[in-house]
A = this chain, B = another copy of it.
């Protein structure tokens, strides 16, 4: 599309110099200078200069004529006309607006403080649209989209649908964590993002889900959905793991409720909101002051990880990558 506006400016510069000299017997001189001008400021000097020069030239000529008058034949009539005319400048400025695609800014994009409870409700509602990973992601993304607009309008949130059920049903990382982690990384650079995401996984592992806040929203119908999979206050459980498989199984066991039920789905919907809210809390805190991790593993796990960690000594047990509550999967050894 091309938008056009035109600015036209016409400048008229016009001046005229007449020098009329008529000699008649007895008369010495009659001179008329007629200057009419309409000049821009910058031209004044040259006009004056011109007048001066031509004027002087004429005067000099006249002086000579007059000087010669006593000895020369008196002219019957001398008409000198110096006419400098018509300087017409037409300036037409045409302004053409050309639309060019706006480039996305460099990463990370600017985060603005979000209302944690709004994010919780958005995350829960997002779960109803696209499950846990999508839900937690849009809990933050769509809040930023509504508050900031571009560039958050450019992300197709549907790309995070894959994370549902611990990555497409495999029960690996909790999808809500993946969605929230992507949102965190969208607004924080890599190294900081990893610290905040690691903190999120730690807090997740030790937090009872669904939160009391979410349970209350459901009971009071304060979430953004109109029909609830369940509007009961649901049992809580702590997973001690960021894995979907562990998190869901622990909840099912704690609640005595099977995994393919409206209650379990609602539990994961509330958890998606809770995880998005937890991420927003961490991001808000990071806006206020430089982020400082607070999560600590159990003494037992720290004991395991004193040897079994990322390191360069294979014989010492540095052959692993990862962290967590080791004993939730492994038997301890002496």
Chain A residues engaging chain B, CB cutoff 8 angstroms: 3, 13, 46, 48-104, 106-109, 130, 134, 150-151, 153-173, 177-178, 181-182, 184-186, 189-190, 193-195, 197-198, 201, 242-245, 248-249, 252-253, 256-261, 309-314, 318-324, 329
Kindly list chain B residues whose C-beta atoms are within 8 Å of the C-beta of A172.
172-173, 201, 242-243, 322
Q: List 25 A-B contacts (CB under 8 A).
A: A13-B86, A59-B60, A62-B65, A64-B66, A66-B72, A67-B68, A69-B73, A82-B84, A83-B83, A91-B92, A100-B102, A101-B154, A102-B102, A104-B153, A107-B158, A109-B156, A130-B190, A151-B156, A168-B201, A171-B324, A172-B172, A172-B243, A249-B321, A252-B319, A329-B329
Min Cβ gap A18→B in Å is 9
Are B173 and A161 interface neighbours, CB within 8 A?
no
Are A80 and B77 interface neighbours, CB within 8 A?
no
Are A170 and B185 interface neighbours, CB within 8 A?
no
Are A55 and B52 interface neighbours, CB within 8 A?
no
Cα–Cα distance between A73 and B321 once the two chains are bound (Å)? 117
Kindly list chain B residues whose C-beta atoms are within 8 Å of the C-beta of A151.
101, 154, 156
Cα–Cα distance between A178 and B98 once the two chains are bound (Å)? 37
Given A155-B155, A322-B171, A98-B99 contact (CB < 8 Å)? yes
Are A311 and B156 interface neighbours, CB within 8 A?
no
In the complex, the chain B residue whose C-beta lies closest to that of A194 is B168
Kindly list chain B residues whose C-beta atoms are within 8 Å of the C-beta of A72.
66, 69-70, 74
Min Cβ gap A219→B in Å is 23
Min Cβ gap A109→B in Å is 7
Cα–Cα distance between A68 and B62 once the two chains are bound (Å)? 12
Are B173 and A167 interface neighbours, CB within 8 A?
yes
Are A165 and B321 interface neighbours, CB within 8 A?
yes
Given A172-B173, A201-B168, A154-B104 contact (CB < 8 Å)? yes
